[in-house]
Amino acid sequence: MKKPIVWTVAGSDSGGGAGVQADIKVINLLGAHDCSVITALTAQNTIGTGRLEWVAPDMLSAQLEALKTDLPPAAVKLGMLGTAAAVEMVATFLKTSKSPFTVCDPVLISSSGAFLLEASAWKLLTEKLFPVVHLITPNIPEAEHLLGMEITTPADIEAAAQKALTTGVKEVLIKGGHGSHDMELSSDYWSDGKNHVWLSSPRLDTKHSHGTGCVLSSAIATARALGYGPLDSIIVAKAYLNQGLRQAPGLGSGFGPLAFNPWEKAAKDIPLVFQKAGEPGVRASLPSIGK
């Protein structure tokens, strides 16, 4: 039985905790075959990023076309695109190629506060890229910048998700890890316009959380490629992310990477789900492929 193919279109992290390096490990560990399109080279470690160079547009195009002709994907994950030219190119490619499920982690700002997408490209995300992808996974600061609104409460998160859906994207998952309204739980909100759910997990006291957005989005893409349904793929990805945070090896002297291990399917890593913010929630059941 052939493994499904998952593409990651993202930047290289020389420290191995985020970007393409993290995506490749997640895709393989969850049971798919990875292909990568590199958008940027970085010189970074757990302390920070020292240098960044964007891949030339013609090289970005060549990578996409090479994979398209021989290794078509069952799912695609988009990470750091960086430039307006890259956003335009990827959006056009997805639109003309009729690509399968695509999740976009709209990388705008680094954990240190540096902007990783040039200003001229921000509007292109909402106007050209989002309408041709299936799911976006912004954190709260990214959602605020992209949607032009302040997000401080669970009601704000729900309103932001509905506003995001007006861009044409089919699903939105707003990650609540940056939220301050609940210091014990980290709660995310998913909606496809008709259905919605909150997913919560205990906040873990660790500074080794570099690459969480990359791990989550690549895990979602892989779960979809394996046959999980929309919400089930997010539950699987959240559980794998929680495992990685819980088992973080403490590498480096700064903000280290998560653990990249085979998925243990431990019950304690599976998120709680509930319909309304503030509800106690129930532990999600482990999804089955094909639901």
For 200-234, give the DSSP string.
EEEPP--S--BTHHHHHHHHHHHHHHHT--HHHHH
CA distance 212 to 21: 13
- Residue of higher predicted confidence among 256 and 280: 256
Tokens of 25: 């490990």
Identity of the amino acid at 179: G
Q: Quote the mean pLDDT of the chain.
A: 92
**What is the predicted pLDDT for the residue at 291?**
44
CA distance 149 to 207: 28
CB atoms closer than 10 angstroms to residue 184? 7
- The tens digit of pLDDT for each residue in 11-28 reads 999 999 999 999 999 999
> Residue 61: pLDDT above 90?
yes
> Residue 113: pLDDT above 80?
no
CA distance 83 to 225: 28
Identity of the amino acid at 102: T
Span 156-164, average pLDDT: 97
Helices and strands: H and E segment counts in the chain: 8, 12
User: Does the pTM of the predicted model rise above 0.85?
Assistant: yes
- Residue of higher predicted confidence among 56 and 108: 56
> Residue 198: pLDDT above 70?
yes
How distant, in Å, are the alpha carbons of 13, 25, 34, 121, 168 from that of 67? 21, 19, 11, 25, 26
CA distance 263 to 241: 10
CATH superfamily of domain region 5-283: Ribokinase (3.40.1190.20)
- The tens digit of pLDDT for each residue in 213-235 reads 999 999 999 999 999 999 999 99
